[in-house]
Amino acid sequence: MKSLIFFVALLSLLSLATITKSQDPTFLYDSCSNETTYKSNSTYQANLNLLLSSLVSNATRNNLNGFYNSSLGLDPDDVHGLFLCRGDVSKNACQNCVALAAKEVTQRCPVEKVVVLWYDLCLLRYSNWAFFSTMDQEQGVTLVNTQNIAYEPERFNRLVATTMNDTVTQATSAMSGAKKFAVKEVYFNEFINLYSLVQCTPDLSTSDCNRCLRIAISSLPSCCSQRAGARVLYPSCNIRYETYEFYNTTAVAAESPPPPPPVIRAPLPSPVSKPKGWN
């Protein structure tokens, strides 16, 4: 597994919290494979421009759950692309992020055919091969909070591991067609709570989503031990944890399904005494 590790200094938790609350997209990382490229004014470029336009226009639809994929063109100029918005963002924030990604992608990756762009609120991806419903964790990046946990760091590491695993279980139990997305908040001490988030592209099978997220979690001990936060970004899934609230808890609560109604069982019949002489 080839994964780039990129350490990000967090200027302040307050500024990051402000960014999240306003739901303005922030660029995180790009993967531009130079193994396959296209020429300016080529048929592939024309198809790519049409695809990007389609992704942006479909980001406004209400029935997509923040995910859409599409294909255009014929071999060898076919192009396949998708966007995935973070599970807690609004429809408008999703559209803004996809529109920004579509605008910036040809500036960041001007001639590459295989591209992934990650923002904090969305992912944009396209390729000259049909990658839909296929797990991909080869192109990836790990972003690490430079702050360390000074108090009981080993207990914090254990809490991260158990919480991330619980969050994966929650995300992969989603019904077919629903978001493969989950968040969780747990108590660490009187000063710190742990916030975790995991998400897969909904086109993945439950088993592939589970495998992708477990691979991401397995990389945390080597890169991020005792760190106050980290995220692992793959084309097919992503995970993140922090010691501050970086997702929209109100939106998550609004989308959470209500608990099932209690099961009302009919009372058992009273025992009937048999008359003497009955067998």
For the chain, give every domain's residue range. Answer: 4-140, 142-255
Q: What is the pLDDT confidence band of residue 14, given thresholds at 50, 70 and 90?
A: very low
Residue 53: its pLDDT value, please? 96
Q: Is the pLDDT at 147 greater than 70, yes or no? A: yes
Alpha-carbon distance of 83 to 64, in angstroms, equals: 11
Architecture, CATH, for domain 142-255? 2-Layer Sandwich (3.30)
Looking at 3.30.1490.20, 3.40.50.920, 3.30.390.10, 3.30.430.20, the CATH number of the domain 4-140 comes to 3.30.430.20
Q: What is the pLDDT confidence band of residue 131, given thresholds at 50, 70 and 90?
A: very high
In terms of Cα–Cα distance, which of 173, 172, 159, 125 is closest to 227?
159
40 burial (CB, 10 Å; 0-12 / 13-18 / 19+) is exposed
Q: Is the pLDDT at 191 greater than 70, yes or no? A: yes
Q: What is the pLDDT confidence band of residue 138, given thresholds at 50, 70 and 90?
A: confident
What separation in angstroms does the CA of 170 have from each of 90, 181, 182? 21, 8, 6
The per-residue pLDDT for range 231-242, each reduced to its tens digit, is: 999 999 999 999
Q: Judge contact between 139 and 31, C-beta under 8 A.
A: yes
In terms of Cα–Cα distance, which of 198, 197, 200 is closest to 84?
200
Q: 66-93 in b/e burial notation, b at 16+ Cβ within 10 A? A: bbbbbebbeeebbbbbbbbbbbbbeeeb
According to DSSP, the residues that pair with 70 across neighbouring strands are 81
Phi, psi of 255 (to 5 degrees): -90, -15
Q: What is the pLDDT confidence band of residue 270, given thresholds at 50, 70 and 90?
A: low
Task: Give the pLDDT mean for 209-232.
Answer: 96
Q: 43-58 vs 91-108: helix axis angle to the nearest 10? A: 160
Domains 4-140 and 142-255 equal at CATH topology level: yes
